[in-house]
Structure 1
Amino acid sequence: MNPIRFDDWTAPVPAVRREVLSVLPEEETDRPPVLFVPGLGHGAWAFAEHWLAHAAERGYPAHSVSPRDRGDLRAQVHDVVQVAVSLPRQVVLVGHGAGARVVARVLARYPARAAVLAAPLLDGRAALGAALRANPAGTLPALVGGRLRVNRRQLFGPGMPAERADAYLGRLVHPGARMQRQLAGRDASPAPVGDPPVLVVGSPDDRVVPRASLDRAAVRHGGAPLLFPGMGHDLMLDTGWTEPLDAILDWLDKELGG
């Protein structure tokens, strides 16, 4: 399928140098590559901390891409499509948070082998309500174009050491007011091409994505969310990160016959 669309020709996305981090299995494998897409404020590093190496140990070539600085949704979709088509095999897409919204749009133009929406930020209004309840001081500035500031209670479960949580928070970058505005409403992505299997995972204790949003996202793809109680929004960085990743890889093994 041609990933180029009419608006890409008439108003092309500016070229950038994309950061892609990769960890490959020690032995050659027939499993498809997995491309991880980070969420708001995060970069490829968020998956390089734990998930890339663990996925490679399970036999999956693992890659993560950083969203471009100040890029909007269209630019980030473009970047993910370009990275996906550059890999030697049809990829599995795993998007986290706002990265799951990017993946949902990529699925409408790239025939992925499968996809995982992890703590997907698909309903911006519900997420905004949750953020105002959990962290009003950090959320209110975003309503007038300022920077959204999340705290450790929003991203991590109670078992995360404060020093480690603060170190991760210090690595977050401001995505820009335009991206924040684009995420404010509900996602209206077209249906995926090729009908790939799609798994929704998250935590009922997530203070960014409410449980009802997880349920709606899963129903849209014909299933129920796979839940990990006690974890925060950042499933890939929180303590207990192996549990959701192993569940994702077990699901891929089953769906793809691994």
Structure 2
Amino acid sequence: MATSSLVSFPCLSSPKAKFKPMAALSKSSTTYELKKGQNRLYHKLPSGLKMEVIEQRKEKNEKRRSEKEKENPPLVFVHGSYHAAWCWAEHWLPFFSSSGFDSYAISLLAQGESDEPLGTVAGTLETHASDIANFIESNLSSSLPPVLIGHSFGGLIVQYYLANISNKQPLVTDATNAYPDLSGAVLVCSVPPSGNSGLVLRYLFSKPVAAFKVTLSLAAKRFQTSIPLCRETFFSSAMDDHLVQRYQDLMKESSRMPLFDLKKLNASLPVPKPKEYSKKVMVLGAKDDFIVDDEGLKETGRFYEVEPVCIEGVAHDMMLDCSWEKGAEVLLYWLSKPTNLSA
């Protein structure tokens, strides 16, 4: 793997940035080492804070060029709690860039190498979605509208983004501009539109032992110190200890603040129902998901009026699991069908 230097990578700056920074960059003690073909960029938000973006452009392919292959939309990946851009950079960014897609993985504020805002939490659904929109507006406006892909709580942020496109809501940082358009959206093991309260209640009544483990692992952060609990929470049982340890260490470094205030978040849910919705949505789940149950997956599918795709043999962290290619290949097939993306 190529060694990265934070100083040597360029920043992507928004011409609309006009506010003083709300906090300084707080770097993690261990910087994720990029793979061949990847770049670490820093997108400057209107607040002055910088947001880490790991970029991997599509590989040049003489055969595709000679066949004048149609242009693919860029892919923008959004992580969930305790993760950052690195979780996509391990496998899915190389996979999709080699398949002809420019790919960008974002670290939300106070995650990965992104700046920390003032306060005790990284943001809200509104601010996180607005930050993503600002990145897309500033850097991807010359290409086809992107496909936005969100995992876990990142999927809930993508759902908020979708609602604001169709309901024509302005960006929180700029009252004159609406959210940039998308070619489609993919929700990977996503928290459903109503939030995680229903998941927790169902576990309490139907799987009390699992409910205790989830609470111990996530709320008490025991996944950070227990290899077996980390594996059970995020990965398949076949995942090797050394890989669980690697990702456990990266998760410890990833989140310096919680993504949300969960009480305030749950009080604001469900996400708004999109009006005159025309964006194509894929709902992708994992059969062995320890966090999002089957009913949570079905709820998301019903909300967007699509049939969820549930993949056997993978767990919650589908993009990092030992069978990560299963989800990647299903998503690539969906992306390759012209009818699955908005014109």
Q: The residue matched to 1:200 in structure 2 has which SS?
A: strand
- The answer to whether the aligner puts 1:134 opposite 2:206 as a matched pair is no
TM-score in terms of structure 2 length: 0.64
Deviation at 1:179, TM superposition (A): 3.4
When structure 1 is superposed on structure 2, of 72-81 and 55-64 the one drifting more is 72-81
| Correspondence 1:1-258 to 2 at 5 A | 14-27=47-60, 30-69=71-110, 70-72=121-123, 73-85=125-137, 86-87=139-140, 88-89=142-143, 90-107=145-162, 108-109=164-165, 110=179, 111-122=181-192, 123-129=195-201, 130=203, 133-134=209-210, 136=212, 139=215, 147-150=220-223, 151-172=230-251, 173=255, 175-176=257-258, 178-184=260-266, 186-191=269-274, 195-254=278-337, 255-256=340-341
8 A Cα contact 1:147 1:176, kept in partner = no
8 A Cα contact 2:75 2:148, kept in partner = yes
Q: Deviations along 1:25-76, whole A, 9 cap, x unmatched?
A: 1227711100000011110000000000100111111100001013122221
When structure 1 is superposed on structure 2, of 226-235 and 179-188 the one drifting more is 179-188
Q: Take 1:141 and 1:45, find their aligned partners in 2: how far apart are those partners?
A: 21
Unaligned runs of at least 5 residues, structure 1 = 1-11
8 A Cα contact 2:280 2:341, kept in partner = no
Deviation at 1:100, TM superposition (A): 0.3
Q: Take 2:51 and 2:103, find their aligned partners in 1: how far apart are those partners?
A: 16
Q: The residue matched to 1:213 in structure 2 has which SS?
A: helix
Whichever residue aligns with residue 115 of structure 1, its letter is: A
Deviation at 1:249, TM superposition (A): 1.4
1:157/1:174 Cα in 2 relative to 1: closer, same or farther (>3 Å)? farther
Deviation at 1:141, TM superposition (A): 9.3
8 A Cα contact 1:41 1:175, kept in partner = no
Q: Take 1:56 and 1:238, find their aligned partners in 2: how far apart are those partners?
A: 19
Q: Deviations along 1:149-169, whole A, 9 cap, x unmatched?
A: 442201001111122112212
Q: Take 1:138 and 1:115, find their aligned partners in 2: how far apart are those partners?
A: 28
Q: Take 1:231 and 1:165, find their aligned partners in 2: how far apart are those partners?
A: 14
Aligned residues: 244
Task: Give the number of the structure with larger relative contact order, counting CA–CA contacts within 8 Å between residues 6 or more apart.
Answer: 1
1:23/1:229 Cα in 2 relative to 1: closer, same or farther (>3 Å)? same
Report % sequence identity. 25
Q: Which has the larger radius of gyration?
A: 2
1:218/1:177 Cα in 2 relative to 1: closer, same or farther (>3 Å)? closer
Q: The residue matched to 1:19 in structure 2 has which SS?
A: strand
TM-score in terms of structure 1 length: 0.84
Q: The residue matched to 2:274 in structure 1 has which SS?
A: coil
Deviation at 1:115, TM superposition (A): 0.4
When structure 1 is superposed on structure 2, of 28-37 and 57-66 the one drifting more is 28-37
Whichever residue aligns with residue 215 of structure 2, its letter is: T
Q: Take 2:242 and 2:262, find their aligned partners in 1: how far apart are those partners?
A: 27
Deviation at 1:230, TM superposition (A): 2.3
Q: The residue matched to 2:290 in structure 1 has which SS?
A: coil
Structure 1 equivalent of residue 5 of structure 2: none
Whichever residue aligns with residue 309 of structure 2, its letter is: L
Indicate the RMSD between aligned Cα atoms, in angstroms: 2.7
